Amino acid sequence: MGSKTTTTQQMPEFQQKFLEETVLPYATDIAQREFTPYTGERVAGMTDLQQQALGGYGALDMGGQEYGLASDVYGRLSSFEAPEAQAAQVGEVGSIAGADMGRYMSPYTEGVIESGLRDIGGAQQMALGQQQARAQKAGAFGGSRHGIAEAETRKAYGQQAADLVARERANAFRNAQQAAQFDITGQQQRALAEAGYQQQAALANQQAALAGAGIQAGAAAGLGNIAGQRLQSQLAGLGAQMQAGEQQRMLSQAGLDAQYAEFARQQDFPLTGLNALATAASGIPSGYGTTTQSYGGLGPALGAVGSLGMGLGPRGFGFFGG
């Protein structure tokens, strides 16, 4: 006749009582609680310093006035035209051909000529007187030979007179030409000097206009640079102000996070207690409360099966697995 082994597993009475009277009522109470919303602030708003920085950002004019002035200057320079340095015009200067030589003739020329003619005339009369005296002495006065000699004498002295007049007038004209040429040369030099001054003045005006345009362009560029530098400085200052305000806000945010964490910890505290109770309820040793009965002579084989059943214990059948 074969052997029969029966294994009975049941919860210990104290464990069942603990679950029914302690754990389950505690869990039911937690489940029936209403949701408790968190009424505190979760996000820290901007600080006064940040609000002030935002106002500063809004008040920035981006250098509009300076850039406007610089734009006006560049607009005027776009139509700028430097004055032309025209070639100097030399005024009309007289020429030797058109000069009035009468203005330059020496007033003493006629006196020199008259004086010379008188000297020649006196010499002629003296020579004629000598010829007459010789002719009378020779008894040939009034003869043909006397007439020829007198004519030759008159011709010789006439030629001297003509040569004197021509020579003196030529000298006077040559001197007049030199005087006129001197005046004309002086006029030319003065005209060239005046033209040079005009040319220098025109070049100076051109250079002054170009220099003025360059100064205006430099001033416009300086205005733009100043506006840009000021804007960058303002942005840097407002950025630093915003960062300082962010540090304050982060501290406030950390305080709000700590308050919310404490609220969440309070809400989770009952669950912590429930977990502690459940852990205590499931901490029954394996095989506790198991009964094994053996019938027949199979002996060690059935005993091994009973031991296996005891090893399962409450882990496989309990309310809370260990």
Given a cut of 50, whether residue 139 has pLDDT beyond it is yes
What is the pLDDT at residue 189?
A: 81
> Distances from the Cα of 179 to the Cαs of 109, 110, 162, 191, in angstroms?
15, 18, 25, 18
> What would the mean pLDDT of 272-279 be, rounded to a whole number?
85
Q: Cα separation of 160 and 275, whole Å? A: 165
Residue 295: strand pairing partners: 4
DSSP assignment of 64-125: HHHHHHHHHHHHHHHT--PPP-PPPPPPP---STT--GGGTS-TTHHHHHHHHHHHHHHHHH
pTM of the prediction? Answer: 0.42
Mean pLDDT (the chain, rounded): 76
Q: Cα separation of 214 and 208, whole Å? A: 10
Given a cut of 50, whether residue 61 has pLDDT beyond it is yes
Residue 310's pLDDT band, with cuts at 50, 70 and 90, is: very low
Rg from Cα positions in the chain: 72
> Distances from the Cα of 139 to the Cαs of 135, 142, 186, in angstroms?
6, 9, 68
35 vs 121, more confident: 35
What is the pLDDT at residue 250?
A: 93
Q: Cα separation of 48 and 252, whole Å? A: 13
Spatial CA neighbour of 317 closest among 298, 279, 278, 290:
290
Q: Cα separation of 207 and 222, whole Å? A: 22
What is the pLDDT at residue 141?
A: 59
State the residue for tokens 């459940």.
278
Residue 305's pLDDT band, with cuts at 50, 70 and 90, is: very low
Beta-carbon contacts of 32 under 8 Å, excluding residues fewer than 6 positions away, are none
What is the pLDDT at residue 321?
A: 40
Given a cut of 60, whether residue 1 has pLDDT beyond it is no
Report yes or no: 206 and 83 within 8 Å, Cβ to Cβ. Answer: yes
Tens digits of per-residue pLDDT, 174-215? 787 787 787 778 878 887 888 788 778 878 888 887 888 888
DSSP structure class, residue 315: G
> What would the mean pLDDT of 29-54 be, rounded to a whole number?
89
Beta-carbon contacts of 316 under 8 Å, excluding residues fewer than 6 positions away, are none
Tens digits of per-residue pLDDT, 64-113? 777 787 888 877 777 767 777 666 666 666 676 666 767 767 777 777 77
What is the pLDDT at residue 81?
A: 72
Given a cut of 50, whether residue 265 has pLDDT beyond it is yes
Most distant CA atoms of the chain, gap in Å: 234
Tens digits of per-residue pLDDT, 211-241? 888 888 888 788 778 878 888 888 899 899 9
> What would the mean pLDDT of 131-152 be, rounded to a whole number?
69
What is the pLDDT at residue 203?
A: 82
